[in-house]
């Protein structure tokens, strides 16, 4: 037993989500906080009720009047309605509307057991990909069609680098099985499904490095399917992009 | 020998009930050992485990898959539903026996077969399936997707398929028995609440296991007959193109969760019915709002058929569908709340009798409240989008589906033990078992909420990854593991108690709990039932009760 005590104290200390770095994150956090507070209070109240009933030795003849039960029920229904409505508003804001027209575009591709990030390059258009051209050993892990001029300037990275403060539209694909694209620090999660192209959008606002995880079991390497999101200043982002473009141009020039 | 065979291959429903409990016991024992191996590995990932060696990632995933499948199908579906209903259902409704005794016995032996097939998966080359109990394709559709996804996955599918047939046959028998076997006067409003639980769970079983069977057949066909229900065009595995048709992985998710969500209610509805009965019995009161309570069990079952999409908010399903499923899911909180308020109202007056079955029923209620309350939180797509597939969800369903249902099973075993053996279980050991289990279960599953909030995904064989290793969670993980071992150790008290009490326990008098329902009658009972299920303390006051085998004319 004595070994357990410090462990339990530690549990209480580490009780919250990792620091948020996205524009919409604080709303998620606030909602999560109030939900957890409300639900914890109810759980405690329920147990106090239970404890009171258990400690009452002599049976009271009168039970709880039906009116009290109805009032409680109506109160709970009001809470559920509040939860449903507030959460739906946030969900709608994040998912119903598309990104703004000025959002930048990055493609996310999941594969056992890594993430690839493709930038469209100066032409702002992704080249066509074909599964039969996928050949990671030959430097074409996504199967970009060399005959498509739009694909000539595409950049494929294993790190997701984004400029701070700019909205980004991610288009997510998977080459093989279902993966889960999860950035806890951006409060962002979306499965990548083979055969589907899915979109999510968000705005990183705090520079820093954030882990990207796989949240859908996808094979023996599931726990190692991680990548980094680096949110940098716009100038650093431009410099990084320019460097990647130069490297790409050199490689294709040979 | 012949006598022994006829005892094993019996069509006697009571014997079958006990056999089902043995099956569940075997499954829960294996499932628990697997979970302890997982907990051990998460805390000491590089340790050499006796008889196992160093655990590889695929071993861990195979453990998760087997643990989930065993617990959901062979423990939570068999014990509360088939086990207890076989034990007492015909007596409770005053039936002569089961409607289809042979179908009933067939269902049990098919369950055993399914269990053996599943277990055999661990002993073959390549090992057991590793895609989790939900087996999402294309991962589960392609043998090349990982170790264990070849023969191991086939055996998993075969096992699940056989189990579907077994559950279906069992449900047909239960449903027919409840509908046609009730004694004269056993009207809907006189049914014990357990029967309502089994009724709704049987209807759900009938509807949703059929869908799971169909889905399993389609997946099997994708694996072996070249169809592509679930494999999309151009799908690659291991650098090889395998997708040739135009299948949709999301189709599996829809089919699976159309089964998977009601399955939660199949495992917990019988427990809700039993808890209602026990609260009435051990508080010597009528059930507060019987009609409402029974109606809400039905409402939970009906609504439960329309909420499967809340497992799919971030699956790639249309976000508008997420809204719709979120709303329906929130709606299911209402009948659940009615049930909890009803129980609390029944208990409010105090004067409770704290025998072991009652303690476990109260434990069920505690878990149902704590685990259930995170349901409305997870029903909100905006919040679930963060918590989906994290340990928060693991905590949620282990409390509300796992622990609540398991505690209701314990309550049932302590309660009906006299019917099974003619003896009472030891109260002191029972109370010890209860308190240690309660504390250790909370110690195991409450901290998982925090791991989930910290963003730790499920199915990670170790915390240390290439980018993040959740350093703050290591002490939490350790605490969970210690607690899980304590929880498992406490079950030894239970096993000891069962073993000793069955042979040397106090001999039970007739109707030891002073219950009102018909299974406790020592006679055939009246030809016509004239009383409601829970006539406690009426009309004579203190401690009085009128069992259902008493006729109304015979007032004492």
DSSP assignment of B427-454 equals HHHHHHHHHHHHHHHHHHHHHHHHHHHT
Best of B129, B316, B483 to substitute, by most chain A Cβ atoms within 10 angstroms, is B316
d(CA A223, CA B44) in angstroms, rounded, equals: 16
B443 touches chain A (CB under 8 A): yes
Per CB-CB distance under 8 Å, the chain B contacts of A61 are: 349, 541
SS percent in chain A: helix, strand, coil, step 5: 40, 25, 35
Q: Is A219 left (phi over 0), alpha (psi -120 to 50) or beta?
A: left
Residue found under tokens 């059930």: B287
B512: tokens are 């030891």
- In angstroms, what CA-CA distances link B434 with A168, A207, B27, B410, B485? 53, 51, 21, 9, 15
Nearest residue in chain B measured CA to CA from A186: B386
pLDDT at A4: 59
Cis, bond preceding A242 (omega within 30 deg of 0)? no
| Overall average pLDDT of the B521-546 stretch | 78
d(CA B239, CA A241) in angstroms, rounded, equals: 29
Reported as a single tens digit per residue, the pLDDT across B321-374 is 999 999 999 999 999 999 999 999 989 888 889 999 999 999 999 999 999 999
Inter-chain residue contact B386 with A28, CB threshold 8 Å: yes
Which residues have CB under 8 Å from A45's CB, separation 6+? none
Q: Which regions of chain A are under pLDDT 70? A: 1-15, 61-62, 253-254
Q: How many C-beta neighbours within 10 Å does residue B220 have?
A: 17
Angle at B76 between CA B98 and CA B151, to 5 degrees: 105
pLDDT at B51: 78
Best of A193, A209, A228, A229 to substitute, by most chain B Cβ atoms within 10 angstroms, is A193
Q: Which of A7, A63, A64 sits opposite B479 (nearest CB)?
A: A7
pTM to 2 decimals? 0.94
pLDDT at B71: 96
DSSP count for chain B of H helices, then E strands? 16, 4
Inter-chain residue contact B350 with A46, CB threshold 8 Å: no
If we measure between CA atoms, which residue out of B478, B404, B547 comes closest to residue B94?
A: B547
Cis, bond preceding B539 (omega within 30 deg of 0)? yes
Reported as a single tens digit per residue, the pLDDT across B260-289 is 999 999 999 999 999 999 999 998 888 888
Q: Which residue has the higher pLDDT, B546 or B73?
A: B73
If we measure between CA atoms, which residue out of B231, B53, B68, B62 comes closest to residue B149?
A: B62
- Tallying the residues shown for chain A, one arrives at 254
Q: Nearest C-alpha of chain A: how many angstroms from B186?
A: 27
d(CA A148, CA A125) in angstroms, rounded, equals: 11
Per CB-CB distance under 8 Å, the chain B contacts of A73 are: 334, 337-338, 341
Q: Nearest C-alpha of chain A: how many angstroms from B165?
A: 28
Reported as a single tens digit per residue, the pLDDT across B434-489 is 999 999 999 999 999 999 999 999 999 988 888 988 888 888 999 999 999 999 99
Above 50 in pLDDT, residue B556?
Answer: no
Inter-chain residue contact B465 with A226, CB threshold 8 Å: yes
pLDDT at B399: 96
Mean pLDDT of chain B: 92
Q: Which residue has the higher pLDDT, B380 or A10?
A: B380
Nearest residue in chain B measured CA to CA from A45: B369
Which residues have CB under 8 Å from B483's CB, separation 6+? A4, B440, B443, B444, B447
Do A22 and B312 contact (CB within 8 A), yes or no?
A: no
Best of A16, A83, A223 to substitute, by most chain B Cβ atoms within 10 angstroms, is A223
DSSP secondary structure string for all residues of B511-540: STT---SGGG-SS---SS--S-TTEESTTT
Best of B371, B468, B474 to substitute, by most chain A Cβ atoms within 10 angstroms, is B468
Q: Give percent above pLDDT 70 in chain B.
A: 98
B420: tokens are 């099974």
Q: Does residue B125 sit in helix, strand or coil?
A: coil
d(CA A211, CA B468) in angstroms, rounded, equals: 6
Which residues have CB under 8 Å from A39's CB, separation 6+? B373, B374, B376, B377
Query: Helical H runs in B284-390?
Result: 290-304, 319-348, 356-378, 381-387
Q: How confident is the model at residue B554 (pLDDT cuts 50, 70, 90)?
A: low
Nearest residue in chain B measured CA to CA from A137: B239
- Nearest 5°: phi and psi at B303? -60, -35
- State ipTM: 0.92
Nearest residue in chain B measured CA to CA from A188: B386
Q: Does residue A188 sit in helix, strand or coil?
A: strand
d(CA B440, CA B435) in angstroms, rounded, equals: 8
Above 50 in pLDDT, residue B5?
Answer: yes
Q: Supply the Cα-derived Rg of chain A in whole angstroms.
A: 25
Inter-chain residue contact B461 with A28, CB threshold 8 Å: no
Inter-chain residue contact A224 with B145, CB threshold 8 Å: no
What is the per-residue burial (b if ≥16 Cβ within 10 Å, else e) of B87-118? Answer: bbbbbbbbbeebbbbebbbbbbebbbbbbebb
Q: Which of A49, A60, A221 sits opposite B57 (nearest CB)?
A: A221
Reported as a single tens digit per residue, the pLDDT across B69-120 is 999 999 999 999 999 999 999 999 999 899 999 999 999 999 999 999 999 9
Per CB-CB distance under 8 Å, the chain B contacts of A215 are: 388-390, 457-458
- In angstroms, what CA-CA distances link B331 with A71, A198, B225? 17, 29, 42
If we measure between CA atoms, which residue out of B322, B45, B204, B362 comes closest to residue A94?
A: B322
Above 50 in pLDDT, residue B27?
Answer: yes
Which H or E element spans position A180?
strand A179-183
If we measure between CA atoms, which residue out of B295, B365, B351 comes closest to residue B536?
A: B351
- In angstroms, what CA-CA distances link B100 with A3, A74, B103, B474? 55, 44, 5, 53
Do B371 and B396 contact (CB within 8 A), yes or no?
A: yes
Do B254 and B212 contact (CB within 8 A), yes or no?
A: no
Q: Which of A55, A178, A222 sits opposite B459 (nearest CB)?
A: A222
Work out the end-to-end distance of chain B between its first and last CA atoms, rounded to an integer number of angstroms. 50
d(CA A33, CA A102) in angstroms, rounded, equals: 32
């Amino acid at each position: 037993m004595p070994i357990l005590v410090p462990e339990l104290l530690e549990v209480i200390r580490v009780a919250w989500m990792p620091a948020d770095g996205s524009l919409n994150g604080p709303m998620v956090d606030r909602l999560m906080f109030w939900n957890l507070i409300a639900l914890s209070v109810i759980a405690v109240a329920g147990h106090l009720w239970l404890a009171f009933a258990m400690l009452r030795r002599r049976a009271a003849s009168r039970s709880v009047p039906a009116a009290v039960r109805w009032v409680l029920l109506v109160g709970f229904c009001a809470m559920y309605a509040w939860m449903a409505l507030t959460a739906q508003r946030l969900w709608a804001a994040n998912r119903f509307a598309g990104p703004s027209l000025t959002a930048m575009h990055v493609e996310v591709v999941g594969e056992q057991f890594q993430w690839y990030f493709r930038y469209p390059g100066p032409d702002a258009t992704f080249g066509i990909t074909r599964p039969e051209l996928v050949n990671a050993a030959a430097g074409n892990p996504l199967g970009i069609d060399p005959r498509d001029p739009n694909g000539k300037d595409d950049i494929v990275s294993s790190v997701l680098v984004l400029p701070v403060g700019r909205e980004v539209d991610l288009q997510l694909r998977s080459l093989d099985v279902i993966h889960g694209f999860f950035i806890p620090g951006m409060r962002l999660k979306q499965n990548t499904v083979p055969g589907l192209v899915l979109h999510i959008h968000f705005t990183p606002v705090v520079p820093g490095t954030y882990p990207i995880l796989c949240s859908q079991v996808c094979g023996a390497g599931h726990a190692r399917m991680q990548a980094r999101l680096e949110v940098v200043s716009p100038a650093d982002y431009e410099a990084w992009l320019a460097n990647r473009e130069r490297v790409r141009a050199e490689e294709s020039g040979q | 020998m012949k006598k022994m065979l006829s005892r094993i291959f019996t069509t006697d429903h009571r014997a079958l009930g006990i056999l089902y409990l043995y099956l569940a016991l075997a499954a829960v024992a294996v499932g628990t050992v697997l979970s302890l191996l997982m907990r051990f590995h998460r805390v000491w990932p590089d340790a050499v485990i006796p008889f196992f060696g160093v655990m590889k990632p695929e071993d861990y995933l195979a453990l998760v898959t087997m643990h989930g499948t065993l617990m959901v199908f062979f423990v939570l579906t068999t014990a509360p539903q088939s086990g207890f209903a076989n034990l007492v259902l015909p007596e409770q409704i005053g039936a002569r026996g089961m409607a289809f005794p042979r179908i009933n016995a067939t269902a049990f032996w098919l369950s055993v077969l399914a269990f053996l097939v599943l277990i055999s998966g661990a002993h073959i080359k390549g090992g057991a399936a590793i895609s989790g109990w939900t087996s999402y394709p294309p991962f589960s559709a392609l043998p090349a997707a990982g170790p264990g996804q070849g023969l191991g996955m086939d055996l998993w599918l075969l096992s699940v398929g056989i189990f579907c047939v077994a559950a279906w046959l069992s449900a047909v028998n239960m449903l027919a028995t409840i509908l046609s076997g009730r004694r004269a006067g056993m009207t809907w409003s006189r049914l014990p609440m357990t029967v309502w639980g089994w009724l709704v769970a049987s209807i759900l079983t009938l509807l949703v296991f059929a869908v799971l069977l169909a889905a399993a057949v389609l997946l099997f066909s994708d694996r072996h007959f070249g169809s592509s229900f679930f494999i999309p065009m151009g799908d690659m595995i291991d650098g090889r193109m395998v997708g040739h048709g135009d299948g949709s992985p999301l189709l599996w998710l829809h089919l699976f969760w159309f089964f998977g969500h009601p399955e939660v209610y199949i495992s917990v509805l019988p427990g809700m019915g039993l808890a209602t009965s026990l609260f009435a019995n051990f508080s010597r009161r009528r059930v507060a709002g019987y009609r409402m309570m029974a109606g809400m069990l039905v409402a939970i079952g009906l609504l439960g058929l329309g909420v499967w999409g809340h497992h799919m908010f971030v699956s790639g399903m249309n976000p508008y569908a997420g809204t719709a499923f979120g709303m329906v899911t929130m709606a299911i909180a209402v009948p659940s709340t009615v049930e909890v308020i009803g129980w609390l109202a029944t208990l409010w007056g105090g004067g409770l009798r704290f025998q072991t079955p009652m303690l476990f029923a109260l434990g069920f209620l505690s878990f149902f409240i704590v685990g259930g309350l995170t349901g409305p939180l997870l029903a909100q797509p905006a919040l679930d989008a963060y918590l989906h597939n994290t340990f928060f969800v693991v905590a949620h369903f282990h409390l509300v589906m796992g622990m609540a249902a398991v505690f209701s099973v314990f309550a049932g075993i302590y309660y009906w033990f006299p019917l099974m053996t003619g003896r009472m279980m030891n109260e002191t050991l029972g109370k010890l078992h209860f308190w240690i289990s309660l504390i250790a279960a909370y110690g195991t599953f409450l901290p998982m909420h925090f791991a989930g909030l910290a963003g730790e995904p499920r199915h990670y064989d170790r915390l240390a990854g290439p980018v993040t290793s959740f350093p703050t969670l290591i002490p939490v993980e350790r605490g969970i593991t210690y607690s899980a071992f304590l929880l498992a150790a406490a079950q030894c008290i239970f096993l000891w108690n069962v073993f000793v009490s069955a042979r040397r326990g106090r001999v039970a008098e007739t109707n030891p709990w002073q219950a009102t329902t018909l299974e406790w009658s020592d006679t055939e009972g009246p030809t016509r039932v004239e009383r409601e299920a829970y006539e406690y303390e009426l009309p004579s006051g203190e401690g009085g009760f009128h069992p259902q085998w008493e006729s109304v004319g015979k007032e004492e």
